[in-house]
């Protein structure tokens, strides 16, 4: 007697129940085989019975079925199935929340270092140390910049890069949580732009992503980079020239703001620029006894500045240009043999930036003709206007709406309103709703530049604005440091880290999304304009900048470095009651 299958075997469902169903099916068929063997033995005798049952039932078969049964029901114990994107995002949000103390300590630590552009030695040492301890490979001194670095984890595609700035502002020292001007060190640099928060945002997100990638074997590469000397617009064109983004698929930048939002196209610091110093060289003489023997380099500086100021009337309304005299001579009774002036030429596109720069060079040469001097120049920095990806921005906006704004406490709002009142601004406190996706708005934007623009012309990029500051502050001042080591900055940085992690997951898990971003980049973003560096082939990063200033203040700054082993936060270390406001 032969046992025939009456119908095709039903396919089991997936998951644990499916594996159990499969095991039970095998077990039932095994039992049916045993009964069939017994029937054969009764009807056909021992010899035929042995031959028949050897086909459908024997000890070897029984062992095989037993092993199969045990394996299938125990599969969940030996392997982790990969969750879907939504579940991974929930895990990422939970993991970022679990690192709130870490994020707070990183925000406060970098705030206490207060290092100017190109001198971010302690900050870079601190950030790279954290990344190395967490499995990232760090390459230091990239692009010929001692404080620059790139940290890498993982392998293969896609490659997701994170970037945020490190440097602070001259003369912006300020006690955090105090709603009026009260410097930690008089005249010292301070984080009057809030760049201390950006690394905390990106490093927190990167560590959470590393854990998820390792746990679920998610392919891809993470890169973390610092924005060195952003306040000088001093490095990112050199990063591009060094090829740091040549294999990057998506760039996720982050910058402190008073809101949570993102944008695409030419928006948020929409102007590009060239930053250039003109050094005039003359001949010294006694200013009273023999001035006719001298050739005043300062005269050349003043004539250039006068010519430029007359020219302003005939320039486009979109331009912004400004200068400071950085060397006006030594003392009045000596005809200055050396003098220098530093210009920023800002415009809305490469062609107009180049026109301003060329015009400045012409005026400098004209000043030398009038004064019998010579001139040399040094490009300190440059920035292309931004060109952010619509595809990446739309993905990021969905994550912004998912994360939402932080829950501000009464103390947070009290600090914000007190500072706004101190500044003579509307005392409407902190924002409570996320921003809508911001379209291109170059004609209605306030002026401003950021050298991430160069990166945005070389790979699909967005620039997250996360809520770690107070609305209506003037920018680049002590007032912008008031919130930067308080719960406002801590909560806002945690919100930013969540958005960065979620957005990276979207692209790590969807090759099609990466392809869409690159199709848009090639077919729309760079269709009518191609990137041409504003720096020359012989230009070098201005790594000597701010060295003397930092050497002057470093002994005092070191006395105030944050010690998280002793204090819960930096305000506690400084003895500040939060918030401190005028009575």
**Domain spanning 272-383 has what CATH number?**
3.30.70.360
- Phi then psi for 377, rounded to 5 degrees? -140, 155
- Phi then psi for 252, rounded to 5 degrees? -115, 100
Q: Please tell me the distance from the alpha carbon of residue 470 to that of residue 489, in angstroms, as a whole number.
A: 9
Measure Cα distances from 467 to 161, 388, 471, 490, 576 in Å: 21, 20, 9, 10, 22
- Residue 268's pLDDT is 83
CB–CB of 200/166 below 8 Å? Answer: no
Query: Would the CA dihedral through 415, 416, 418, 419 be positive or negative?
Result: positive
- Residue 89's pLDDT is 98
Do β-strands 374-383 and 272-281 pair in parallel, antiparallel, or remain unpaired?
Answer: antiparallel
- Residues β-bridged to residue 322: 344
Report which of 265, 476, 277, 276 is spatially closest to residue 385, judged by C-alpha positions: 265
- Residue 160's pLDDT is 98
CB–CB of 228/117 below 8 Å? Answer: yes
- Residue 204's pLDDT is 98
Which of helix, strand or coil describes residue 312? helix
- Residues β-bridged to residue 280: 339, 375
- Residue 23's pLDDT is 39
CB–CB of 222/396 below 8 Å? Answer: no
Query: What averages of pLDDT result for each successive group of 10 residues across the chain (583 residues)?
Result: 36 39 40 46 44 43 48 42 90 98 98 98 98 98 98 98 98 98 98 98 98 98 98 97 98 98 92 97 98 98 98 95 98 98 97 97 98 97 97 98 98 98 98 97 81 98 98 97 98 98 98 98 96 96 98 98 98 98 93
Q: Please tell me the distance from the alpha carbon of residue 429 to that of residue 416, in angstroms, as a whole number.
A: 5
Choose which CATH entry (3.40.80.10, 3.40.630.10, 1.10.3720.10, 3.40.50.300) describes domain 86-269+385-456+463-505. 3.40.630.10
Which of helix, strand or coil describes residue 19? helix
Is residue 233 classed exposed, middle or buried when 0-12, 13-18 and 19+ CB atoms within 10 A define those classes? buried
Query: Would the CA dihedral through 444, 445, 448, 450 be positive or negative?
Result: negative
- Residue 75's pLDDT is 42
Quick one: which H or E segment has residue 253? strand 250-257
């Amino acid at each position: 007697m032969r046992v025939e299958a009456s119908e095709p075997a039903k396919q089991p469902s997936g998951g644990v129940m499916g594996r159990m169903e499969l095991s039970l099916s095998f077990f039932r068929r095994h039992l049916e085989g045993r009964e069939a063997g017994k029937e054969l033995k009764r009807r056909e005798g021992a010899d035929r019975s042995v031959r028949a049952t050897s086909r459908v039932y024997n000890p070897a078969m029984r062992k095989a079925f037993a092993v199969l049964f045990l394996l299938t029901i125990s599969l969940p114990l030996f392997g982790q199935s990969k969750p879907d994107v939504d579940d991974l995002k929930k895990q990422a949000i939970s993991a970022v929340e679990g690192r709130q103390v870490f994020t707070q300590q990183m925000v406060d630590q970098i705030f206490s270092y207060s290092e100017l552009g190109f001198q971010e030695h302690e900050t870079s040492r601190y950030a790279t140390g954290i990344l190395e301890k967490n499995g990232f490979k760090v390459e230091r001194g990239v692009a010929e910049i001692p404080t620059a670095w790139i940290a890498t984890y993982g392998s293969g595609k896609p490659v997701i890069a994170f970037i945020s700035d490190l440097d602070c502002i001259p003369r912006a020292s300020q006690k955090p949580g105090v709603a009026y001007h009260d410097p930690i060190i008089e005249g010292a640099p301070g984080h009057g732009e809030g760049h201390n928060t950006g690394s905390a945002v990106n490093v927190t997100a990167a560590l959470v992503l590393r854990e998820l990638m390792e746990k679920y074997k998610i392919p891809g590469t993470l890169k973390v980079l610092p924005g060195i000397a952003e306040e000088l617009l001093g490095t990112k064109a050199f990063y591009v020239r060094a090829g740091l983004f040549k294999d990057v698929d998506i760039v996720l930048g982050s910058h402190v703001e008073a809101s949570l939002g993102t944008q695409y196209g030419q928006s948020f610091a929409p102007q590009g620029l060239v930053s250039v110093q003109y050094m005039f060289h003359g001949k010294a003489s006694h200013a009273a006894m023999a001035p006719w023997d001298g050739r005043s380099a300062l005269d050349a500086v003043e004539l250039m500045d006068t010519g430029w100021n007359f020219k302003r009337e005939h320039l486009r309304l979109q331009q912004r240009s400004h200068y400071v005299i950085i060397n006006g001579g030594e003392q009045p009774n000596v005809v200055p043999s050396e003098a220098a002036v530093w210009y920023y030429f800002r415009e809305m596109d490469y062609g107009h930036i180049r026109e301003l720069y060329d015009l400045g060079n012409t005026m400098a040469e004209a000043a030398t003709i009038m004064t019998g001097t010579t001139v040399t120049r040094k490009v300190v920095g440059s920035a292309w206007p931004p060109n952010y990806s619509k595809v990446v921005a739309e993905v990021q906006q969905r994550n912004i709406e998912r994360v939402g704004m932080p829950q501000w406490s009464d103390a947070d709002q009290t600090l914000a309103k007190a500072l706004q009142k101190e500044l003579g601004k509307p005392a409407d406190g902190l924002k409570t709703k996320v921003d809508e996706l911001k379209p291109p708005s170059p004609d209605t934007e306030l002026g401003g530049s950021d050298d991430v623009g160069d990166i945005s012309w070389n790979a699909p990029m967005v620039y997250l604005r996360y809520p770690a500051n107070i609305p209506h502050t003037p920018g680049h001042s002590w007032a912008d440091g008031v919130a930067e080591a308080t719960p406002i900055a801590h909560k806002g940085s945690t919100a930013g880290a969540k958005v960065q992690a979620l957005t990276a997951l979207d692209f790590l898990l969807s090759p099609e999304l990466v392809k869409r971003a690159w199709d848009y980049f090639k077919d729309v973003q760079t269709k009518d304009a191609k990137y041409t560096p504003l720096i020359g082939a012989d230009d070098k990063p201005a790594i000597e900048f701010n060295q003397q200033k930092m050497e002057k203040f470093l002994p005092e700054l070191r006395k105030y470095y944050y010690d998280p082993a002793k204090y819960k936060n930096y305000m506690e270390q400084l003895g500040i009651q939060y918030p401190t406001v005028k009575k």
